[in-house]
A = this chain, B = another copy of it.
């Protein structure tokens, strides 16, 4: 098992279980366990349908979902368990952020450990007896004046932190399609032509300001990270403007 297990303790609403499945699949998680769900499994047809509608394409998660009577049973084969709870408890335990938990879990899983994230029932949250099964507590940073997070949202945030802790893509990337960034030669050829056309048009009324104006215009275009194709288009724009209004074009 190369991913953490998501455990919902005494979940109340089948819609939430469905949304949890969707959030899990969005973040490439597949192992769901339920401890004493309010509605007994296998679910009745109507409830199954409501859950699957909320899962919105992630119903395959339910084929592997395992049901347990107690939290202790559900975590019996785990080696490290992280419990999510917003409430401070009268017990001595390490409290960490979702991001730190995701990083730790990834390191532990790479070393072969079995890891679970525990989520409590909708209204009441995890009981002390559940927290007793967990090494650490995850506290999701949230507005202190409105910190109650829906269970599917909590699972999403934790699953997202798990997914992004393994994200190796770029933080930023220019989407270029079929074109490539312009070379300095292409850029400079455009700049020189623009500057000589502007000279011809009498744009530089104050010769002392000319170097600064040229520099500012070059910087503005540089910031746009222009492509080869865009330089060709801008050369065409210069030609059209320099040629002036076409006699053949009818202007109303």
Contacts and interface: CB of A to CB of B under 8 A. Distances in A.
A90 B176 CA distance: 8
A19 to B, nearest CB: 8
User: What size tier do the contact residues of chain A reach?
Assistant: 35 or more
Contacts of A117: none
A171 B100 contact: yes
A149 interface: yes
A175 B26 contact: no
A252 B22 CA distance: 53
Contacts of A56: 148, 150
A45 interface: no
A92 B27 contact: no
Contact of A92 (B97, B142, B143, B179): B179
Interface in A76-104: 88-97, 99-100
Given A89-B175, A92-B230, A137-B175, A146 B57 contact: yes
A171 B28 contact: no
B141 A94 contact: no
Contact of A143 (B19, B27, B171): B27
Q: Chain copies in the assembly?
A: 2
Contacts of A12: none
A33 interface: no
B91 A173 contact: no
A141 B157 contact: no
B143 A25 contact: yes
Interface string A170-212: 0111111101000000000000000000000000000000000
Contacts of A175: 88-89, 91-95, 137
Contacts of A167: 97, 141
Q: 8 smallest A-B Cβ distances: which pairs? A: A96-B172, A28-B143, A100-B171, A25-B146, A141-B167, A26-B142, A95-B175, A97-B171
